[in-house]
A and B are shown apart, each in its own frame.
Chain A
Amino acid sequence: MTGQPRTAAADVVVLGGGMAGLVAAVRLAEAGLRVVTVAKGHGSLRLSPATIDILGYGPGRVDSPAQALPGFAEAHPGHPYAVVSPAAVAMSVQWLKEHVDTYSYVGDPSANMLLPTAIGVPRPSAVAPETMAGGDVRTAGPMAIAGLGVFKDFHPALAAENLQAATAAYGRPVQARPVLLDLPSAGQPDFGAVGLARRFEDAAFRSQVAAELRAAVHGEETIGMPAVLGMDQARSAWTELQQATGRPVFEIPTAVPPSVPGMRLASALHARLRRAGGRFVLGAEAVGPQLSNGTLTGVRISSAARVAPRMCRWVVLATGGLASGGIEVEVSGAASERALGLPVHGPGPGDAGFLPGYWDDHPMETAGLRVDSRLRPVGPGGEPVYPNVYAAGAVIGGARPWREKSGDGISLSTGYLAADAILEEAG
C-alpha cells in the first residue's frame, strides 16, 4: 500500500541509527539541514565496546594507524580506507571528541593503545573512552583485575593470566593478578552488565565496592574492572572510585551484549541529535527508493504495516553490514542491499561465500557496496547509481573490521564524510 507523503519533506533522510548514521545526522542537523533518521533498530552501537578502533591489524599489529593507513589503502584497493584519507579520519575523531561531552574520549590516530579485553588480550585501539585508557599495557604498571562476585560475564582470573602471557609475548610483560570482590547479590543472583551499571549509580554501592577494593588491592596496582561503572554518570562514578581507592581504575569492555559503554556512547550521540533538532524514527524500515523519472526523490518507508514515501533531497545510507541486516544473504548465497536495492559487490549465487576453516578469509566477509570517492554507491561500471545517495559505515564492503579492528573508525569517518559531501552540495 502506497500512500501520499505524510510529513513535510526533509533535506536529508538518514537510514540507520548506528555510529555512521548518528554521526552523519548530528553533523547535518547542526549545520541547519532538516534531517530525519529512520532506523529499523538500534544497530550495533549498543553492542560494541565503544572504542574507536581505526586500524589494529593490517594484517600485522599496527602501532600507528596514521602512519599505516596510506600503505594499507594501497594494498587494499576495495577497502573503505582507500576512499577515506588519513586526514579525514583524524578530523572525524576530533569531531567525535568534541561532540561526546558527557563521556570523554582520549587518544588519536597517531598511536594505538593496547587495551585489555575481557579474556586478557591487549587489543589495539587508537581512541577510547577515558574510563578505559588506564589499561593501556604499553604504559600500565602492575594490575589487579577485579571481578564482581559471581558476575557471569567477566572472569578476572582468565583475563589476568592471559594478559600476563600476552604482554610477555608482546615484549612488555605486565604483572596482572585477579581479585574477586564479594558483593551481596541483593537477592538477585543472575544479573548482567546493565543491572550492575545501574547499581553503580547508587552511592552506597560504590562506597562498598571502594572499601572492598581498598582491602584487596596493593599500593602500586592499577585496578581493572568490567565496564559497568555506572550508566549516565559513568564519569563521576569512575572518578569517585579512583579517589576512594587512591589508585588508577580502568574499565574492560564485557563481551556479552548489550554493552554498557556502547549504551553510554549511543545516549550521548542521541542527546546531541535532539539538541540539534534532528528527528529520529525508530522501528521503521526503508524498503526501496521513491523514484520520479529515474531520479530518487525520497525513500519508501515501511512502518506499522504501512509503506509511505519520505521525500528528501539526499539520502545517507547507513544501514550496516551483514550483522545489522543492511546487507542480507539469501538461501541461494547471493548478497543483496535491503533498503534501496543497490548492487552489492560480493559472492554471487552458487559462489562459495565461506571456506571450511573458521579463520580463513571468507569471501562473504567483505560483501557490501562499492563507493566512489564521494561515497556514492556505484554500479558495476563504477558510475554512481544515484547522484544524491551517499553510503556510510558497514554497508560499504571491502573490510574485515572485526579482524582489522577498524569497525568504528570506518563508520565514524564515512559518516562524517557523507555529511561533508552533502553540506558541500547544499552550499
Chain B
Amino acid sequence: MEEGRHANIRLDAVAATAPIECEVLVIGGGSTGVGVARDAAMRGLSTVLVERGDLATGTTGRFHGLLHSGGRYAVKDPQAARECIAENIVLRRIAADCIEDTGGLFVTTPIDDPGYADRFVAGCTDTGVPVEEIGVAEALRREPRLNRRITRALVVPDATIDAWKTVWTCARSAAEYGARILPYHEVTAVTRAGDQVTGVVARNQGGETVEIRAQVTVNASGAWAGLLAAMAGCRVQISPGKGIMLATNHRLVQTVVNRCDMPADGDILVPVRTVSVIGTTDTLVSDPDDWAVTRAEIDQMLQAGENLVPGFAGSRVLRLWGGVRPLFQDHAPQESRDVTRAHAVLDHRARDGVAGLLTITGGKFCTFRLMAQDAVDAVCAVLGTTRPCRTADEPLPDSEDRHYYVLGSRLAGRERTLLDEQVICECELVRRGRLTDEMARRPAPSLDDLRRAVRLGMGPCQGGFCMYRAAGILHQTKHLSAAEADRALLAFLEERWKGYYPLLHGDQLRQAWLDDWIFQGVLDAGHLPLRAPARRPDTETAQST
C-alpha cells in the first residue's frame, strides 16, 4: 500500500558522547548496507549502520529503477542473470509495496542486430529467465508509442522498484530488530589494534566525532569501498562506472522497454511512477563522487530515446542525474560494461592479513538481499556462530499484504481523504499528514531528504509550489528554526538547479522561470536575512543614492 503504516522509529542524528559498542558495524546506507544491517539484526546480532549522508543518497538513490528479470545479462553474464531472476522472485515476495509490476519488453529496433533475439531467447532459457515472444502488432498494441519499425518483441518479468521506499523500509525493519541507523555520520578513520580492525571514527552533521567499536566491520560503501578499505590499510579495486539518466514529465511507456541487443548506452526506458527514465551510459571515472553530465551525453540520451519512442527528443525533460556503479574487479579495468555484475564478499584477513573487516561489493540493486545474506553469513563465520538467514521470507514493513504498488495508489488515497486533508505537493499528491509524519521521524530533515522520502517536489513543477509550503510547515511544527528553514529552502533551490540546468529548454525552462519568479521575485529568497554570504556576489550593501 502506498500511504503505509509507519512504525514509530526515529533515526538518530546526534552522536553519543560515549563510544558505541556493537557486534556488527555496517559502513554505507545504500541498498547493500541497509540490507546487511537488517539481515544482521534479524539474526540477533547487535548492529550499527553509519552513512555519511541521508540513506540512499549514493548510487542507490541514483539508479535506473529497474527490478531486473535477468534478461539484460542472459547472453553476456549468465551468473548475474541467474542471480537476478532468483532475487526478482524473492523481492516480489518480500517487497511488494516497493514494486510496480510493469513487466518488461525486449524489442529489436532498426539499429539492433537482428540475430540477437535468438541468442537472447537461448540465454534466458539457459539461465531460467521466463521469456515469451509476442507479435509486433501485439507489442504495439501494448505500447502504442513504440517505434513502429521494431521487428521482434520478447516479454520478460522485468518490473520497477522504488529505491527510497525499499531502503527506508529496510532501515525501519532493522531498527525494529534493534539496529541503530545513523545517517549523516561519515567515517573518517578505521581503527585497528595490530592486525585487527576494531571499529571506526565517524563525524556527524554537527562536526562532533563518535567512536564505534565493533567485532566485525562490514564495508558496504559501494563505489567508495576502495577508499574505505584503504583507511584500514587494505586494497580493494573498484572501477567506478558512471551512468546518466534523464526523466521526462510523463509515462511514455507502461512497460520497461529494452533494446534487444548487447547492453549499450541509452537502451532502456523505464516507467517510474509518473515519469519515464531513459538510461544509461557507462564510462569509467576515477572519482566515485564525479558524476558530472556533459551536453554530449544528454544529446546521446535524447537520440537513444528517439530510437525507442519516436518524438522522445521533443518531450519535456524534468531532470537528469548520474550515478556511479560499484564494479569490482581484481585487475585493471578495460571497458566498464565488461566487468561482471555479480558480487563478491572479501575477507581482508585472507586478502590483506587484516582481521575483523569484510567488504561486500559489486552486484546490483536488485540483488541487494542476496548480497546481504552472503555478507552476514561471512560475518557469522568470523564470529564463530551459525544463524539462519530469514530475509528471503519475511516481508518488509508495508509489504506484508503482498500487494504491488500501482500508479493510482496515491490518487485512491487522496480520494479517501479528500474532505479531511490538504495536498501539499499537487504533482505527486503528497498529503500534509504524510509530510508531517515523515518530518516527525527525522531529527533535522532537509527539503531534499523529504523529496526523496515522500517524493515531494519530484513532479513537473520540481518543487515550485510545494517547497515554500514545506519550509513553512517545518518551521511552524518546530522541526526547524527560521534560519534552518531558510537554509533548507536555499539548499533545495541550489541542489535542484544542479539536477536540471544543463538541459533547460522548451516548456521545462518556462517552468524554471516561473519558479524563479516565485522564489527570487515574489518571495525575494535571494535576500533572506540569514544567508551564507558566500552564495551570491551581488548582495546587501545598501546603495547610497
Contacts and interface: CB of A to CB of B under 8 A. Distances in A.
B543 A60 contact: yes
A64 B545 contact: yes
A366 to B, nearest CB: 13
Nearest to A321: B513
Interface stretch (A115-123, A234-242, A265-273, A309-317): A115-123
Contacts of A121: 523-525, 527-529
Interface residues of B, number: 63
B502 A161 contact: no
Nearest to A329: B505
Contact of B520 (A158, A253, A324, A402): A402
A200 interface: no
B422 A189 contact: yes
B522 A323 contact: no
B89 interface: no
Contact of A333 (B420, B505, B524, B537): B505
B408 interface: no
A209 interface: no
A118 B545 contact: no
B267 to A, nearest CB: 21
Interface in A378-408: 401-403, 405, 407
Interface in A120-176: 120-121, 123, 150, 152-155, 157-158, 161-162, 165-166, 168-170
Contacts of A333: 505
Interface string A184-215: 00011110000000000000000000000000
A152 B473 CA distance: 8
Nearest to B421: A189
A117 B545 CA distance: 24
Interface stretch (A43-51, A88-96, A416-424): A43-51
Contacts of A401: 521
Nearest to B518: A255
Given A117-B523, A333-B505, A359 B536 contact: yes
Interface in B500-545: 501-502, 504-506, 509-510, 513-514, 516-530, 535-545
B545 A67 contact: yes
A298 interface: no
B529 A63 contact: no
Given A123-B527, A190-B423, A359-B536, A162 B510 contact: no
A327 to B, nearest CB: 10
B535 A359 contact: yes
Chain B at the A interface: SS class: helix
A368 interface: no
B543 A61 contact: yes
A354 B298 CA distance: 15
B302 interface: yes
A405 B522 CA distance: 9
Contact of A166 (B423, B468, B519, B528): B528
Given A58-B543, A150-B422, A354 B504 contact: yes
Contacts of A169: 529, 540
B318 interface: no
A260 to B, nearest CB: 12
A407 B516 CA distance: 13
26 contacts: A68-B543, A117-B523, A119-B468, A121-B528, A123-B524, A152-B432, A152-B472, A154-B472, A155-B468, A155-B469, A155-B476, A157-B472, A158-B472, A158-B476, A158-B482, A189-B422, A255-B468, A255-B523, A257-B518, A321-B513, A330-B505, A331-B302, A358-B496, A358-B497, A359-B537, A407-B517
Interface of A: 44, 47-49, 57-64, 67-68, 117-121, 123, 150, 152-155, 157-158, 161-162, 165-166, 168-170, 187-190, 253, 255-257, 259, 321-325, 328-331, 333, 353-359, 364, 401-403, 405, 407
Q: Which 5 A-B pairs have the closest CB atoms?
A: A155-B472, A59-B538, A60-B543, A402-B521, A358-B497
